[in-house]
Amino acid sequence: MKLPPLPVFYVSTGLSLVTLGDSLLYTILPSYYPVLGLAPLQVGILLSVNRWIRLATNHMAERCYRRYPSDLWLILAFFMGSIVTAMYGIAKMFIIFLGARILWGISFSFIRQAGIMTAVESGSETHLGERMGYFRGINAMWRTSGVILGGLSHDVFGFTITLVGLSILSLVAAPLGALSQKGLKRLKRPLGKVVPGKGDVRVICCGFAVGLIGGGMLMSTLGLILKEQVGESFTIAGNSIGIVTLTGIILGLRWFIDGVGSPILGAIADRSGRQRSTTFLFSLGAVTLIVVAVYSKPILLIALMLIFFICGTTLNTLLSAQAGQSGTRSVASYATAMDLGMSVGPLIGWSIAQLGLPTNSIFISSGAIYMIGAIISYEIWLSSKNLRP
């Protein structure tokens, strides 16, 4: 493995700084919302509206990125992310919170578009998976540390001081955005060969599957599933561990894999073949989910979920790289598919629970969707082999 290129380090660090406010809302609002005068339904709207907004703004960001210098839009998006974090801290009304969340959704569309293309354009195709892994991993590491410190700051200094302080800190992201674009050369054509039109659609379908399951259905219902399959607590080495603790352990493992594992997993996929690896990871993820549905022993469940998170993290890295190879429009379409999957996933997962169906059916249906992803990615792999001279 090589050290990350400076453009990737700068843009991923800037992204983590402006994302802190968004991440802290998911940590703080579920318990602090009565103090802010918010109703539970309003909290649900605030925590999801940014994703729905991105469905409309991802392609707008792509057009701006293509027609105008990327550093301009990236700097403005980073600056807006800082302003939005301050708005969270001083907002006293739901409508102000809502406006801030909408602005954040727009800003994130621009940041993600520029960030993925920065990883694509900062080196050769050979190590693209590794660079994309660094982009995801550096962001995850900084953001996880920031969320922990931000939570401690909230308990000590309060909501307003914490968010406004983070807003001031995140202003550093704007110059980092400018540095990340310095010396980059825009690609005149995609790196690598793809089937025009058709290839993009298949990558988009795979991205939707990853967002639907990993970012939507499973993450939103994990605590509910564990409670039904394991119970309120379980005993290990004579110690009783509650289900909330178990959920926290599993979610913590996911963040750890994103932060530490992304560059390593991306580098391994570069060596073994990114498209071949995508098919293998979808298949392994599908089998893992189905086994989880059948066996509910806590230790085995944690191990299997760890395997699934490795699959999901690497798939997101490799599919982002594949979309980036096809150009800016493919990146926007892939990002929109991911956002759509993450938006509708919780609705599907909780609808299964609402209908009174066994919660392990969430794992079974998720495994079936991953298997469809394996079939689609296998077809992409065959197409790429046929295109080789």
For the full predicted model, state whether its pTM sits above 0.95: no
pLDDT on residue 374: 93
CB count in 10 Å sphere of residue 184: 17
Task: Check whether 252 has a pLDDT greater than 70.
Answer: no
Q: Name the strand (E) or helix (H) holding 355.
A: none
Quote the tokens at residue 110: 């621009």
Task: Check whether 293 has a pLDDT greater than 50.
Answer: yes
What's CA 351's distance to the chain center, in Å?
Answer: 23
Indicate the pLDDT class of residue 192, thresholds 50, 70 and 90: very low
- For the stretch 328-363, what's the b/e string if a residue is b when 16 or more beta carbons lie within 10 angstroms of its beta carbon? bebbbbbbbbbbbbbbbbbebbeebbeeeeebbebb
Rounded mean pLDDT of 376-382? 85
pLDDT on residue 169: 93
Q: Tell me the C-alpha distance between 85 and 20, whole Å.
A: 8
Quote the tokens at residue 56: 């409309």
- Average pLDDT score over the chain: 83
pLDDT on residue 369: 94
Q: What percentage of the chain carries pLDDT values higher than 90?
A: 30
Domain boundaries defined on the chain:
6-181, 198-387
The CATH number of the structural domain formed by 6-181 is 1.20.1250.20
> What pairs with residue 236 in β-bridges?
239
Which span out of 73-77, 150-154, 240-244, 353-357 was modeled with the highest average pLDDT?
73-77
pLDDT on residue 106: 95
Rounded mean pLDDT of 84-95? 92
Residue range 253-281, pLDDT digits in tens? 777 787 778 888 888 888 888 888 999 99
CB count in 10 Å sphere of residue 250: 20
Q: Tell me the C-alpha distance between 355 and 12, whole Å.
A: 41
SS3 359: coil
Contacts of 276 (CB under 8 A, 6+ apart): 381
DSSP labels, 297-329: -HHHHHHHHHHHHHHHHHHHHHHHHHHHHT-HH
Task: Check whether 194 has a pLDDT greater than 50.
Answer: no
Indicate the pLDDT class of residue 185, thresholds 50, 70 and 90: low
Output DSSP code: residue 166.
H
The reply to whether domains 6-181 and 198-387 share a CATH topology is yes
297: left (phi over 0), alpha (psi -120 to 50) or beta: beta
Residue range 14-28, pLDDT digits in tens? 999 999 888 888 778
Indicate the pLDDT class of residue 53, thresholds 50, 70 and 90: very high
Rounded mean pLDDT of 318-346? 86
Q: What percentage of the chain carries pLDDT values higher than 70?
A: 87
pLDDT on residue 195: 39
Indicate the pLDDT class of residue 389, thresholds 50, 70 and 90: very low
Task: Check whether 233 has a pLDDT greater than 70.
Answer: no
Indicate the pLDDT class of residue 235, thresholds 50, 70 and 90: low
Higher confidence at residue 307 or residue 236? Answer: 307
The CATH number of the structural domain formed by 198-387 is 1.20.1250.20
